[in-house]
Amino acid sequence: MTFFAPVLVAIVVLLIASVKIVKEYDRGIVYTFGKFSDTRGPGIQLVIPAVQQMITVDMRIRTEDIPTQDVISRDNVSVKVNAVVYYRIVEPAYAINRVEDFRSATSQLAQTTLRSVLGKHDLDDMLSKRDQLNKDVQDILDHQTDGWGVKVTNVEIKHVDIDPTMVRAIAKQAEAERERRAKIINAEGELQAAQQLDEAAEILARRPETMQLRYLGTLGEFTNAKGSTIVLPIPLDLLKGATEMLSKTKKVS
């Protein structure tokens, strides 16, 4: 009995040391004599001490802040951009065996990709097409990290900071653009009004009675006016008729 007691104790201690608990959101990467053997799921797992080793990998979505990057846009505007990357491990064996530190590697790759993608666009695109830029950066990152067992789920550009001097220049440019559009709209309005007046003149020239109706309508507008002085326009036809009558009167006399 004295001989079996230490052996029994050693077996119990060995069993206790062999038991590993893997959480629901973790996966266990098992090495046997230093060689990758298998991937263990959540629950109780047996790992032989001194023979096997297990490294757990968190499978939950990770958040990685991209530090502020100095970017020169395609139209030579200097901006400071920062973003955030969301990613998760889909192949834990790849993430451990194929890259030394997948966290650092993903962060460094995200920084260089962000500078590269934004540098191909104008400042206006950075400010107005942020959703498309987010997708472009995400697609490139996801493609390059696929071999690491990393899945990039989302990229969000948080801030695009512009130098104050550039802000004033952009404000002036926007004001000039608004004035240009206002002048164009005003010119288009005048052109349309001139076209309408030209068409109205042609109609009035073909139908003299229409001119008389217009004259009567104008008289009604003056009558309803609040002013005390009323100026009545005299049609040219009436003046012509009066001139003819005066001429006939002089001939008779």
Q: What is the pLDDT of residue 73?
A: 87
Whether residue 78 has pLDDT greater than 60: yes
Confidence class for position 118, pLDDT limits 50, 70, 90: very high
Q: In this predicted model, which residue has the larger pLDDT, 118 or 2?
A: 118
Question: How far does the chain reach from its first CA to its final CA, in angstroms?
Answer: 166
Percent of the chain with pLDDT over 70: 76
Q: In this predicted model, which residue has the larger pLDDT, 193 or 217?
A: 193
**Could you tell me the pTM of the whole model?**
0.64
Q: What is the pLDDT of residue 213?
A: 60
Percent of the chain with pLDDT over 90: 43
- In whole numbers, what is the pLDDT of the chain averaged over residues? 82
Tokens of 53: 């080793």
Tokens of 170: 């952009």
Domains of the chain, by residue range, sit at 13-58, 62-162, 164-221+233-247
Q: What is the pLDDT of residue 253?
A: 55
Q: What is the pLDDT of residue 209?
A: 58
| Interacting residues of 36 by C-beta distance below 8 A, sequence separation 6+ | 29, 30, 93, 97
3-state helix, strand, coil in the chain (%, to 5): 55, 25, 20
Name beta bridge partners: 32. Answer: 35, 52
Confidence class for position 9, pLDDT limits 50, 70, 90: confident
Distance CA 221, CA 218 (A): 5
Domain spanning 62-162, CATH architecture: 2-Layer Sandwich (3.30)
Nearest to 51 by CA among 22, 21, 31: 31
SS3 213: helix
Q: In this predicted model, which residue has the larger pLDDT, 91 or 199?
A: 91
Q: Out of 45-59, 195-209, 216-230, which region has the weakest mean confidence (pLDDT)?
A: 216-230
Q: What is the pLDDT of residue 2?
A: 60
| Interacting residues of 110 by C-beta distance below 8 A, sequence separation 6+ | 64, 66, 83, 85, 137, 141, 155
